[in-house]
Amino acid sequence: MKIAVLGTGDVGQMLANRLLTQGHAVRLGSRSTTNDKAQAWAAAASGDAGVATFADAAGWADLVILAVSGVHALSVVDAASAGLDGKVVVDLTNPLDFSKGFPPTLFVSNDDSLGEQIQRAVPGAKVVKTLNTLANPLMLNPALLSEPTDILLCGDDAGAKGTVVELLQSFGWASPIDLGDITNSRGLEAWLPLWVRLFGALGTPMFNLKLVRQ
Amino acid sequence: MKIAVLGTGDVGQMLANRLLTQGHAVRLGSRSTTNDKAQAWAAAASGDAGVATFADAAGWADLVILAVSGVHALSVVDAASAGLDGKVVVDLTNPLDFSKGFPPTLFVSNDDSLGEQIQRAVPGAKVVKTLNTLANPLMLNPALLSEPTDILLCGDDAGAKGTVVELLQSFGWASPIDLGDITNSRGLEAWLPLWVRLFGALGTPMFNLKLVRQ
């Protein structure tokens, strides 16, 4: 698959490298193709790897992964919007506001969510929210934990969710749980205020939730 | 222990009955001692059971359990306040607003919480928030689930939390996780927007989270 990863930070590069390893073609998107981190990544990457602007990377791709800080999510989506029509957009972001310190608050919550704001910003795209609920290293390697845990997703488009479920399964998530339409981002993002406190109490970000039933 | 259960609904009566079974003395608190549900409960209860006003029940008790709907929590705490000074108050409430239908929103969230509002309303009480994160039948019977899961708590007073941990252990929660001071109610209550959606996706409220580490 042709996958654009928007964002040149740790999460973006980690994802890009893993996707290359899995045989996908990857374009790392940034605001400018002269971005130092993107250039360094491309120079070191093996496989069908390249650098492009947000819009060019999105326009080239079959699937776009939004891997930037929540505070930049809408501006990056806006910059990429010319390439996003009809595309599956995997939204990993969280609306974390660290301006008042730790633990952060959310800059959108309760009766709206960043996932919904992104979908509204690019109504022609098929936004699927997932992987926002756990630490970066666990996104691609759930087996780092001592037993299988759960990953959740939501979005309006059933076909897009099917594509994302296959991608998640390729990362090792056996049975992703579909919460329904994109308004369920409110629930996925509400996990963060609890997650940051569990991080504090457990003394590690290397944990995830397992949903236990009867 | 002398335990006041404030609230005559399903959760209050279920808790009161279990506490009697465990040998505690219980007063079911309500706005009026002529409350039909409270009277019916007392007539059927065995053990040291009785009915009292919110304030009288709280004044009599060593430990007070707040088991009312979130929307009534502050008015009940206000009605009981004469009896709450110095008492351990176990807060089970969630600030759920169903006025716009299901799933509910929260009427306080993000940079404040109902747990903190309750603590501020009765600064002389020792509020401990817990058991708000799962369906009623599971509160007192975690073994209904297929494997051990986690229960969380928070509050400002270490001694009060120790008392509540012992109570939770008597219900079958082996290792409650202390998140810290009462501001962590923001995290515990933020679980609800995700919980209600998991309820929808899983088709049952009979589930709980297990925190899996490395």
Mean pLDDT in residue range B42-65: 96
Render the burial of B173-184: b for 16+ CB within 10 Å, e for the rest: beebbbbeebbb
Tens of pLDDT along A159-180? 999 999 999 999 999 999 999 9
Torsion sign (Cα): B167, B170, B172, B174: positive
Contacts of B211 in chain A (CB under 8 A): 198, 202, 207-210
A193 interaction partners in chain B (CB closer than 8 Å):
110, 186-187, 190
Answer yes or no: is pLDDT of A19 > 90: yes
Q: Which of B186, B117, B182 is nearest to A193 (CA)?
A: B186
Residue-level pLDDT at B176 = 98
Instruction: For residue A162, give both structure tokens.
Output: 């099917």
Per-state percent for chain A, helix, strand, coil, to nearest 5:
45, 20, 35
**Whether A201 and B192 lie within 8 Å, measured CB to CB:** no
Confidence label for A156 from pLDDT (cuts 50, 70 and 90): very high
pLDDT in tens, A80-135: 999 999 999 999 999 999 999 999 999 999 999 999 999 999 999 999 999 999 99
What average pLDDT does this structure show over B190-203? 98
What confidence category does residue A35 fall into, taking pLDDT thresholds of 50, 70 and 90? confident
Most A CBs within 10 A among B197, B202, B208, hence the mutation to make, goes to B197
The tally of domains found in chain A comes to 1
Cα–Cα dist B186/B202, whole Å: 25
Peptide bond into A103 cis (omega under 30): yes
Residue B171, domain extent: 2-202
Considering the domain boundaries, does residue A213 fall inside one?
no
| Residues of A in Cβ contact (< 8 Å) with B94 | none
Would you give the DSSP letter of residue B104?
Answer: -
| pLDDT > 90? residue B33 | no
User: Which residue from B103, B146, B187 is facing A214, i.e. has the nearest CB?
Assistant: B146
Mode of pairing for the β-strands spanning B25-30 and B49-53: parallel
- The token pair at A169 is 């399964």
Q: What is the CATH number of the domain that holds A114?
A: 3.40.50.720
- Give the pLDDT of residue B35: 86
Interface touch B214/A190, C-beta < 8 Å: no
Question: Which residue from B83, B64, B79 is spatially nearest to B124, judged by alpha carbons?
Answer: B83
Quote the tokens at residue A98. Answer: 């660290």
Going through A100-203 in order, the beta strands assigned E by DSSP cover 105-106, 126-130, 152-155, 177-178
Q: Residue B208 falls within a domain, yes or no?
A: no
B213 is a domain residue: no
In a domain, A208, yes or no: no
- Residue B8, CB half-sphere, CA atoms under 13 Å: how many? 22
Arithmetic mean of pLDDT, A57-71: 98
Mean pLDDT over all residues of chain A? 97
Tell me the torsion sign for CA atoms A171, A175, A180, A185.
Answer: negative
Residue reference for tokens 């010319």: A82
Contact residues, chain A, for B145 at CB < 8 Å = 212-214
Kindly state whether residue B145 falls inside one of the protein's structural domains: yes
Phi-psi region of B198 (alpha: psi -120 to 50; beta: other; left: phi over 0): alpha
B158 within a domain of the structure (yes/no): yes
Min Cα separation A188/chain B (Å): 6
Structure tokens at A174: 């056996």
Confidence (pLDDT) at B117: 98
DSSP-assigned letter for residue B176: P
Residue B89 in any domain: the answer is yes
Q: Give the pLDDT band of residue B34 (cuts 50, 70, 90).
A: confident
Is pTM beyond 0.95? Reply is yes
| CB–CB contact B201 A191 (8 Å) | no
- B58, B42 in Cβ contact below 8 A? no
Do the beta carbons of residue A204 and residue B183 sit within 8 Å?
Answer: no
Split at pLDDT 50, 70, 90, the class of B77 is very high
Flag whether B96 is in a domain: yes
Are A176 and A165 in contact by the 8 Å Cβ rule? The answer is yes
- For residue B109, give the nearest of A110, A191, A195 by CB distance: A110
Kindly report the number of other CB atoms within 10 A of residue A147's CB atom: 12
Q: Which residues contact B22 (CB under 8 A, 6 or more apart)?
A: B170
The tokens describing A76, both together, are: 């990056």
